[in-house]
Chain A
Amino acid sequence: MAFNILIVDDSSTVRAMIRKTLVLSKIPLGELFEAGNGAEALERLKTSWVDLVLCDINMPVMSGQELVAHMREDDLLKTIPVAIVSTEGSDERIDELKAMGISAYLRKPFKPEEIGALVLDVLHQEPAP
């Protein structure tokens, strides 16, 4: 089974870093989608099947936290796992996101292997030999 992943970050550099990491990993990938903010991500989620959303918090137009809130109110989107990848360090905000049902949290700066491990963990996949 190949997984479709949506990368949501206002930085094209971060999106490229995550894309490159995923492509070089042994995770079975379908399509990799990108969005520059939460609103663009919602538009993508309306038109494409996505297995996992990797999402920043601090973005213009619609933040990652707002995106998670919108997804949780939508019957079609609420079961899609969301992993937050952010520079946010506040315990309170991370607890809020966990209470909203995020699957994982990874703080920037991250190592490439941490992204791979996070995706495998959230998708319940074993690392390829």
Chain B
Amino acid sequence: MNSQVCVKTALAAVLEELAFMFADPPPLNLPVVIPEALNLVSIHYTGEHEGTVWLLASSAFCLALHENMIGSSDDDTDIENKAADAFKELCNVVTGQMVTMRFGTQCRFTLSIPALRAATAEDWKHIVETCGAEPLYVDQEHFVLVALEEEFQG
């Protein structure tokens, strides 16, 4: 399976299982709009193979993800940090699923702690260009970009 297809498949499966959110390719007649207030999270994996999983999405997506994962509560203080934490956990689970899908359960990997930062449209375009990534359209509302950058050894 192509690396970008693999990581997109992992993202769609994890979103459905973890947050009951549904990811599909954007409709052909819908232009991709790069979200504002972007967050970027990445995890580097090392072992028999090495690479990085990148995940970019809007703050609105992170809030929706958090709410779907644990529901709203009376204690919605610090909600932006909680949403960011949910986004990091999504990347963690996607990376774990992706390495198993791509390399099997015989390989052993170490995953870095997720690194999160604010991102720009330039980051989005750069990852699209360097990885050949294409966004997914989640719940017919959010464009989410996921990419796998593999490092070839030897």
Q: Which residues of A contact B (CB under 8 A)?
A: 10-14, 16-17, 20, 58-60, 86-93, 107-109, 111
Given A89-B99, A111-B17; A11-B89 close (CB under 8 Å): yes
State the majority secondary structure of interface residues on B. helix
Complex-state Cα separation, A16 to B76, whole angstroms: 12
- Asked if residues A13 and B92 are in contact (CB atoms below 8 Å), the reply is no
A11 / chain B contacts, CB cutoff of 8 Å: 85-86, 88-89, 92
- Asked if residues B82 and A12 are in contact (CB atoms below 8 Å), the reply is yes
Complex-state Cα separation, A87 to B71, whole angstroms: 22
- Asked if residues A109 and B18 are in contact (CB atoms below 8 Å), the reply is yes
- Asked if residues A90 and B108 are in contact (CB atoms below 8 Å), the reply is yes
Please encode chain B, from 69 to 100, with 1 for each CB lying within 8 Å of some chain A CB and 0 for all others: 11100000000001001101100110111011
Question: Would you give the shortest CB distance from B29 to chain A, in whole angstroms?
Answer: 32
- Asked if residues B106 and A91 are in contact (CB atoms below 8 Å), the reply is yes
Of B70, B96, B99, which contacts A13 at CB under 8 A? Answer: B70
Identity of the chain B residue whose Cβ is nearest the Cβ of A18 in the assembled complex:
B70
Of B70, B86, B93, B113, which contacts A87 at CB under 8 A? Answer: B93
- Asked if residues A91 and B71 are in contact (CB atoms below 8 Å), the reply is no
Whether B8 sits at the interface, judged by CB under 8 Å, is: no
A13 / chain B contacts, CB cutoff of 8 Å: 66, 69-70, 82, 85-86, 89
Question: Would you give the shortest CB distance from B105 to chain A, in whole angstroms?
Answer: 5
- Asked if residues B96 and A89 are in contact (CB atoms below 8 Å), the reply is yes
Question: Would you give the shortest CB distance from A33 to chain B, in whole angstroms?
Answer: 17
